[in-house]
Structure 1
Amino acid sequence: MSEKKKFNIEYEIKSSPRILYSFLNEPNGLTQWFADDVSVRDQVYTFTWDGEQQMAKLIAIKENKLVKFRWMDDDPTYYFEMEIIQDELTSDVALSITDFATDDTMGERRLIWDNQIKYLISTLGA
């Protein structure tokens, strides 16, 4: 299995950090753009896509700022993080995604995020 590399993508999102945050950490918010179904119990989120479940543990959280998950079936050094960045001068809001992928899957992972975030932006009406 080839080594996964960390990558980061940033998206400009016209939304308040508070509203955006609810879409990043609340099951009903995540269900609207990230997965078909999301449930949470004891900091473990179960994401369902096309009937397939994947579980991720919430490993870091900062209100209105950041959520960080680790896939339960993956190497513990890998995670995915969604961080809300707000420019102090312009108040512009961006969503920064940190994830890991192998060289072979990097393009695909980025495309998945691009599509998910487009969906998030349309859901927010931003």
Structure 2
Amino acid sequence: MEDKVRYEMEFPIHASPSLLYQYIATPSGLSEWFADNVNSRGEMFTFIWDDSEEKAKLVSKRTGERVKFKWIDEEGNDSDYFFELKILEDEITKDVSILVVDFAEEDEIEESKLLWENQISDLKQVLGST
């Protein structure tokens, strides 16, 4: 399997960091925009889309600031890949944005970025932030 490449995307969001955090760090929040359904047992999260299911471990979080999930492979081992959602707030303007850090194979980066754009668009719709 080809190594995946790390990429980052930043999206402005009109919402308070504390509200936004609820949508990126909780199963109920994530299931409103990120996946069809999200279940968790402790630090293990299961993301369900249509007929596919992916497992990830919540490896770090800082309340109101960020969450980082590491993907679990088919054998139940940690993979080398993760996705991270960071809430950024400009200290002067108080503008809020979300930084997405993810990995994709070189030839799938554009497709992955489009997927994130759609996901974040769904998040903005849920938040009432256009």
Identity %: 41
> How many residues matched?
126
TM-score, scaled to structure 1:
0.96
CA deviation after TM superposition for structure 1 residue 60, in Å: 0.6
Structure 2: give runs of 5+ residues left out of the alignment.
Answer: none
Task: Map 1:1-126; keep pairs closer than 5 Å.
Answer: 1-73=1-73, 76-126=79-129
Structure 1 residues 74-116: Cα deviation after superposition (integer angstroms, max 9, x where no partner): 8632110000000000000000000011111101110110000
Structure 1: give runs of 5+ residues left out of the alignment.
Answer: none
**Root mean square deviation, CA, Å:** 1.1
Give every structure 1 segment of 4 or more consecutive aligned residues whose post-TM-superposition deviation is greater than 6 Å. none
1:26 & 1:3 partners in 2: Cα distance? 30
Structure 1 residues 21-64: Cα deviation after superposition (integer angstroms, max 9, x where no partner): 00001111111000000010020000000032110000010000
Change (3 A) 1:118 1:77: same
2:51 & 2:121 partners in 1: Cα distance? 22
